Amino acid sequence: GLRVTFIESAAGWLPHLVFKMDAVTDTLDGEALELKHRPSSYFAERRNLWIACDADEPGYEFIAESIGASQMFWGSDYPHYDHTPDWLEWVFKRTERLSDGDRRKVLGLNACEFWDLPVPVPDDTAAVAGA
């Protein structure tokens, strides 16, 4: 099916927009739209829509709460001149409040799924060398 991702637009705007779209569906205006699904379900349940967060933007946990961590990843087109040199440190800092599983999704697994890339397997040579 059709999959759409929002890239190069940051993501902080999304929680409010999803909230407002869902809220409107509960009004007379929303009833006139005759939607088959609530707007938020196109992210969280139907998995048609994805969003890329900027590495240094705050609020990853709010975005994950509004659409689900499975529909988001962080974006980089390094070098990107509107980011500071420590952008990679920022993405790790900004995702600290997510659960370990959600953090792994946002930091790479979701991108692998969206673009149909192989999931990297951790290199166990360090563990073997220490054994």
Nearest one of 55, 49, 94, 91 to 68, comparing CA atoms = 49
pLDDT for 85 beyond 90: no
Q: Please report the pLDDT score of residue 131 as a whole number.
A: 46
Q: Per-residue pLDDT averaged across 21-27, rounded?
A: 92
| Lowest mean pLDDT, pick from 81-85, 88-92, 126-130 | 126-130
Q: Tell me which of 45 and 13 has the higher pLDDT.
A: 13
State the pLDDT at residue 104.
94
In angstroms, the CA 84 to CA 115 distance is: 27
Give the integer Cα–Cα distance in Å for 5 and 67.
Answer: 13
Is the Cα dihedral 65, 70, 71, 77 positive or negative?
Answer: positive
- Structure confidence at residue 105 as a pLDDT band (50, 70, 90): very high
User: Residue 96 and residue 71: Cα distance in Å, rounded?
Assistant: 18
Supply the pTM of this predicted model: 0.81
